[in-house]
A and B are shown apart, each in its own frame.
Chain A
Amino acid sequence: MYKIKRFTNIVSGFYLLLLAGTAQAVLNIEITQGVEGAVPLAVVPFSWQVPPQNPQTPADLVPPKKPPVDIAAIVRADLARTGRFDPLPPKDMLARPNVDSTINFSNWRIFQSENLVVGTLQYLGADRYKIRFRLFDVFKEKQLEGFSFSVSGNDLRRAAHQVSDIIYEKLTGERGAFTTSVAYVTAAGVGKARRYSLWIADADGYGPQSMMRSREPILSPAWSPDGTHIAYASLEDNGHQAVFVQNISSGRRDKVSSYKGINGAPSWSPDGKSLAVTLSKDGNPEIYVIDLTGKKQRRLTRHWAIDTEPTWTPDGKTVIFTSDRGGRPQLYQVSSSGGKARRLTFEGKYNAKASVSQDGKKVAMIHRTDGKYRVAVMDLKSGNLRVLTDGSLDESPSFAPNGGMIIYATSAGRRGILKAVSVDGNIHQRLTIPEGDVREPAWSPFPQ
């Protein structure tokens, strides 16, 4: 488990600024296409229980006046955002049972709700809370899950996402990704006033935290496998690209690569000990693996063409990258110890920027079709490629850690926005910020 805190301490130099008082780039997420026949379900507002109060009640047992977080509302939003569920609005509910109630299932059958979630949030004192919830099959009148756990006030939102994870997994058979985070880059202002910021927010867009801010473009944020660090490339040294690794909780960062030429496109090895990067120090862009001190390096590719955008396969044995060695950009795969690269993509004239699903079975990429750049996903075993989006300038696909969704950047009019699409292409989300451009999304791993 990791917690994101506003950082207070930064390595000096360059254009880093603290963001106190700066407008936060909150992502607003909407479903633009859901599954036909999304499952109706009801998540009843959790009842609020406090210890008995009297004038002698010790201060740390005096509860907040109301629940600090509306657990049920967060769960409803999480499930609705997947496009696979259609939660009943609380105002339509005929009853509001909690975990200790006897459930009258007919109250829910009349809304066709297939599932019912009831819960209780209890104040234990000293900023501790107990969450209890039960998930029912309305038509079978049967409990499917029942859980209880205690958390501190700061972790209530995350606990609500855990409730969503449990419900989602029980109902779909797939692991939920509601407790994960997303990193992204925003750009706002024009000309010399243009500023780039790197942010991390919860996967539902809540609580964006600024990681760094620069006058120069920030590219390719990449999460460490344990979710504690983020690597990125920045052009902040007067157009000279360098790769940085930043500790998410402290804000401390290290420059790990700043050779002559390009230092970009970092990707963490699954063991978290090294980064695959693009360096052009030896004449043109090639793939290298460097350790986190930037001192040790090994070269994986050796070709006069462009080799860039490396990404590790989850087994750590190979690296997939973009190369135009065949005349046009295509994806290739090379052993992480180097050697001969094997071409992976053959469909179309432009396939670039791979993201590999955590099970190692699928590769998302940017694929050109009819002059449009779209997100496509390829099954690595069969080689079958499927275009998932209908954009024209899609970029930077990034798999959710459960492999269910792919987040990517695209443009809407003149603005850069983010979108997400389910791997089957059925569910589409749109993620926007109030002003400016948003780009370069990277979905975090599961919290540890």
Chain B
Amino acid sequence: MKLWTKTVLTMLPALMLLGCGTSGEVEEETDSGVSSSSSAGDLDSSATTSGVGSGDMASGEGMGEQELGFGGDPLDDPNSLLAKRVVYFDFDQTDIKSDFLAIVQAHAEYLANNSSVQVTLEGHADERGTREYNIALGELRANAVQRMLALQGASASQVRVISYGEERPAALGHDEDSLALNRRVEFIYNR
């Protein structure tokens, strides 16, 4: 996928540094790169979040990391709560459900500890109801997350809120499972 390609490309200098310029298994090379602290820095500065969660990134790295421990930015740790970047909501509701409090709290702590990091909260709604109302609903959802981040130490300048309402669904179906996936706030880290 696109993220994967980018990851590999950004790793190229690191691979050369490590003297691993062979055409070996890309997955392995990437793993070894991440665990070395210098190349982890490279990864941080150039990898972009895709905005649909972080599952792709985690998949290539999981096994090795558990053994070695995670040496890079906690935002890239697939086992961290920070890997979860979407908060889901009930229909027409803007309250953060208890299942997601720990996730929001983890992001709040991370932002509080990394004052140079900025995040955009993208609010979304499902397709039911009217478009402008859903724009408002998406914003209120993102505002709810923003308030909780602020309460736990993130500064206002680190968090930006935008709303797409029902305009950018994550799932295209009309069934309840799809709709549930669309009522969401996404954390988009601007790195």
Contact = CB atoms under 8 A, between A and B. Distances in A.
Interface string A222-249: 0000000000010100111100000000
A264 B172 CA distance: 25
24 contacts: A217-B168, A219-B131, A219-B132, A219-B167, A235-B164, A238-B162, A240-B162, A261-B161, A264-B132, A278-B132, A278-B135, A280-B139, A285-B136, A306-B133, A308-B133, A309-B132, A329-B92, A329-B129, A329-B133, A352-B133, A373-B128, A393-B174, A395-B130, A440-B131
A323 to B, nearest CB: 9
Contacts of A284: 136, 139-140, 143
Interface string B142-185: 01000000000000000001111001100010100000000000
Contacts of A414: 172, 174
B76 interface: no
A121 B40 CA distance: 79
B14 to A, nearest CB: 28
A220 B172 contact: no
B140 A353 contact: no
Contacts of B61: none
B129 A306 contact: no
Interface of B: 92, 120, 122, 127-133, 135-137, 139-140, 143, 161-164, 167-168, 172, 174
Contact of B129 (A220, A261, A366): A366
B172 A396 contact: no
A198 interface: no
Given A217-B167, A352-B130, A241 B161 contact: no
A396 B137 contact: no
A163 B92 CA distance: 48
A350 interface: yes
B135 A264 contact: yes
B130 A396 contact: yes
A284 B132 CA distance: 13
B136 A278 contact: yes
Interface residues of A, number: 37
A407 interface: no
B67 to A, nearest CB: 37
Given A373-B129, A393-B127, A219 B161 contact: no
A203 interface: no
Contact of A306 (B127, B136, B167): B136
Contacts of A308: 132-133, 135-136
A396 B122 contact: no
A322 interface: yes
Contact of B92 (A241, A261, A328, A366): A328
Given A262-B139, A393-B127, A217 B132 contact: no
Given A220-B131, A233-B132, A278-B136, 20 more contacts: A217-B167, A219-B131, A219-B167, A239-B120, A262-B163, A264-B132, A265-B132, A278-B132, A278-B135, A280-B139, A285-B139, A308-B135, A308-B136, A309-B132, A329-B129, A366-B130, A393-B127, A395-B130, A396-B130, A414-B174
A378 B133 CA distance: 20
Contacts of B140: 284-285, 306
Interface string A55-90: 000000000000000000000000000000000000
Which 10 A-B pairs have CB atoms at the shortest separation, nearest pair first?
Answer: A239-B162, A353-B130, A217-B167, A285-B136, A265-B132, A306-B136, A352-B130, A308-B136, A309-B132, A308-B132
Interface in A315-368: 322, 324, 328-329, 350, 352-353, 366, 368
